[in-house]
C-alpha cells in the first residue's frame, strides 16, 4: 500500500476516536501508565480495548512519538472547532433571540448528509415533513437512515391517524388485536402500519429499530430520546418530537453541535444498544 494511502487511513482511524478518549489516552501515556510500545492487549487491560482498531497503526511508537501524535490531533481539533453550540427553539419567540427554529434546523441538517443519518424519536407524524427530507437525502446522495422508535407511542399516534382517516379505519381492529397477541406481533403490526402511512416508498428503504420493552404492556419503559446524528459529525439534541406540533406550536428547546467526537460517542451509544440486543431491528 502506498505511503500516502496509509497516512490517509491512519487519519481516518483517529477521526473515529472521541476527543475524551484521546485526552484520557494521552494522559495515560504522559503518566507512564501504559507500557510502550503498546499492544492491543495492553490497551484492553487499560480499558481502551474499543480503540484497538483505530490505534492499531500506532503500535510501534515509543512514548514521545505517540504522545506527539495524540497531542497534535487534540490541538488540531481545538483549532478547527466551530462554534460549539447552537440554540434551537420551537414556539413563541417574541423578543431578541439567538435561537434557530427546529422546523428549519432539522431539514437543514438532513440536507447536509452524504453518508448516514441516525434518528431517535418518541413520536412522529407527517406534520414535520421529515420523511420527505429523508427520502430526498437517500435518493440524491445514497444516504443510509436508521430510526430508533418507541412502539407504544407509535401505536397511540397511529390510532389517532386511523380514526381521522376513514379510508384506513379498517386497520384499527388488526392493530388492537396485535396488541393482545403479544409484544412481537404488536411490534410487527405497528411497524408495518408505520411504513404504510409514513414510508410508502419502493425506491429506498430505511432501517427501523425499537426497544422491545416498549411493545410489552407489562413494561413502563419508553424510548424517549429525541436526537438526530448526521455523517458522524453533526448532532441535534432536542426536547421536540418529530411532529408538526412539536416543531411549530409547542415550546421546545434543543442544541446543535458540530463536533465529530461527540457525534461518534453518541452514535456509539446507539450501536451498543443494537449490539447488546437492547434494541432490535423491526
Domain ranges of the chain: 3-80, 86-281
What is the spatial distance between Cα 282 and Cα 188, in angstroms, rounded to a whole number?
7
Confidence of residue 152 (pLDDT cuts 50, 70, 90): very high
CA-CA distance, 154 to 41, in Å (whole number)?
A: 44
What does the DSSP assignment read for 7-62?
A: HHHHHHHHHTS-HHHHHHHHHHHHTT-S-SS--HHHHHHTT-GGGHHHHGGGTT--
Q: How far is residue 45's CA from residue 256's CA, in Å, rounded to a whole number?
A: 35
Which band of pLDDT confidence, cut at 50, 70 and 90, is reported for residue 230? very high
- Whether the model clears a pTM of 0.95, i.e. scores above it, the answer is no
Q: Helix, strand or coil for residue 242?
A: strand
* For the chain, percent of residues with pLDDT exceeding 70: 94
- Contact between residue 69 and residue 54 where contact means Cβ atoms under 8 Å apart: no
Distance CA 184, CA 205 (A): 21
Query: 78-82, 165-169, 188-192: which has the highest mean pLDDT?
Result: 188-192
| pLDDT for the residue numbered 7 | 41
CATH number, span 86-281: 3.30.870.10
- What confidence category does residue 16 fall into, taking pLDDT thresholds of 50, 70 and 90? confident
Q: Long-range contacts: 11-15, Cβ < 8 Å, 24+? A: 13/53, 13/54, 13/55, 13/56, 13/57, 14/54, 14/69, 14/73, 15/260
pLDDT at 81 (0 to 100)? 61
SS (H, E, C) 155-198: HHHHHHHHHHCHHHHHHHHHHHHHHHCCHHHHHHHHHHHHHHHH
Amino acid at each position: 500500500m502506498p505511503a500516502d494511502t496509509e497516512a490517509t487511513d491512519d487519519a481516518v482511524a483517529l477521526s473515529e476516536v472521541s476527543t475524551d478518549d484521546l485526552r484520557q489516552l494521552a494522559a495515560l501515556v504522559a503518566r507512564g501508565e501504559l507500557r510502550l510500545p503498546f499492544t492491543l492487549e495492553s490497551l484492553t487491560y487499560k480499558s481502551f480495548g474499543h480503540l484497538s482498531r483505530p490505534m492499531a497503526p500506532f503500535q510501534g511508537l515509543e512514548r514521545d512519538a505517540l504522545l506527539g501524535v495524540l497531542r497534535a490531533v487534540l490541538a488540531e481539533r481545538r483549532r478547527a472547532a466551530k462554534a460549539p453550540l447552537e440554540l434551537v427553539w420551537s414556539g413563541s419567540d417574541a423578543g431578541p433571540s439567538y435561537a434557530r427554529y427546529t422546523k428549519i434546523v432539522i431539514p437543514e441538517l438532513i440536507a447536509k448528509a452524504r453518508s448516514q443519518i441516525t434518528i431517535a424519536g418518541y413520536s412522529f407524524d407527517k406534520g414535520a415533513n421529515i420523511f420527505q427530507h429523508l427520502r430526498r437525502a437517500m435518493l440524491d446522495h445514497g444516504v443510509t437512515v436508521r430510526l430508533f422508535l418507541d412502539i407504544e407511542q407509535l401505536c397511540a399516534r397511529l390510532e389517532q391517524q386511523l380514526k381521522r382517516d376513514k379510508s384506513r379505519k379498517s386497520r384499527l381492529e388488526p392493530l388492537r388485536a396485535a396488541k393482545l397477541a403479544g409484544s412481537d406481533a404488536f411490534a410487527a403490526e405497528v411497524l408495518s402500519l408505520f411504513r404504510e402511512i409514513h414510508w410508502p416508498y419502493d425506491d429506498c428503504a430505511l432501517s427501523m429499530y425499537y426497544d422491545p420493552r416498549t411493545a410489552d404492556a407489562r413494561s413502563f419503559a419508553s424510548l424517549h430520546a429525541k436526537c438526530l446524528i448526521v455523517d458522524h459529525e453533526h448532532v441535534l439534541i432536542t426536547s421536540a418530537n418529530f411532529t408538526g406540533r412539536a416543531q411549530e406550536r409547542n415550546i421546545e428547546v434543543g442544541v446543535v453541535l458540530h463536533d465529530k467526537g461527540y457525534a461518534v460517542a453518541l452514535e456509539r451509544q446507539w450501536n451498543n444498544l443494537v449490539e447488546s440486543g437492547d434494541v432490535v431491528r423491526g
